[in-house]
Amino acid sequence: MSLKVGDIITFERTFTMEDVQMFTKISGDEGIHHMTPDAQGRLVIQGLLTATLPTKIGGDNNVLAREMNFEFLIPVFTGDNIVCEVTIEKYEMQENNRISIVASFVCTNQNEKQVLIGNFSGVIL
């Protein structure tokens, strides 16, 4: 897949209790809100678990990230369906035959509320 400035790539995911439990084991992030269900039986998703959506899109396109910025806006809960839209802002061939890439992203829940915004930059080898 050849990318160009202006391309928008999307990825969608619904996080489960099992996702939170696995990420808790890997990350060690055992905040009470990640371990104890709320009155509706949901867990709060770790912010960095939510951030795996834009990183998946980068990985799918062989981006070697050099910088990533995240702004976590509102909590994401188990059962929430999150859509991540990544927009390619810069895509240029460098002298060393690497491609320089800059992208921004917006993650939105099923209620069309933004939950995470940010950007990343890196290279494609």
Residue 104's domain is classified under what CATH number? 3.10.129.10
Average pLDDT over residues 5-12: 97
| Position 63 in a domain | yes
Per-residue pLDDT averaged across 59-82, rounded?
96
Average pLDDT over residues 49-53: 96
**Average pLDDT of the segment spanning 16-45:** 91
Q: Does the residue 3 lie in any domain?
A: no
∠ CA 66-95-62, rounded to 5°: 40
In a domain, 65, yes or no: yes
Query: If you write DSSP's letter for every residue of 56-92 in order, what string do you get?
Result: HHHHHTTEEEEEEEEEE-S--BTT-EEEEEEEEEEEE
Task: Out of 37-41, 107-111, 116-120, pick the least confident.
Answer: 37-41
Question: Residue range 26-37: average pLDDT?
Answer: 87
pLDDT at 1 over 80: no
Q: What is the pLDDT of residue 79?
A: 97
42 CB neighbour count, 10 Å cutoff: 18
Q: Which domain holds residue 119?
A: 8-124
Per the domain annotation, does 83 fall within a domain?
yes
DSSP secondary structure code for residue 125 in this structure:
-
Residue 76 placed within a domain: yes
In a domain, 2, yes or no: no
Domain count, the chain: 1
Say if 119 falls within a structural domain.
yes
Note the pTM of the prediction, 2 decimals.
0.91
- Count the Cβ atoms, other than its own, within 10 Å of residue 91: 17
In a domain, 1, yes or no: no
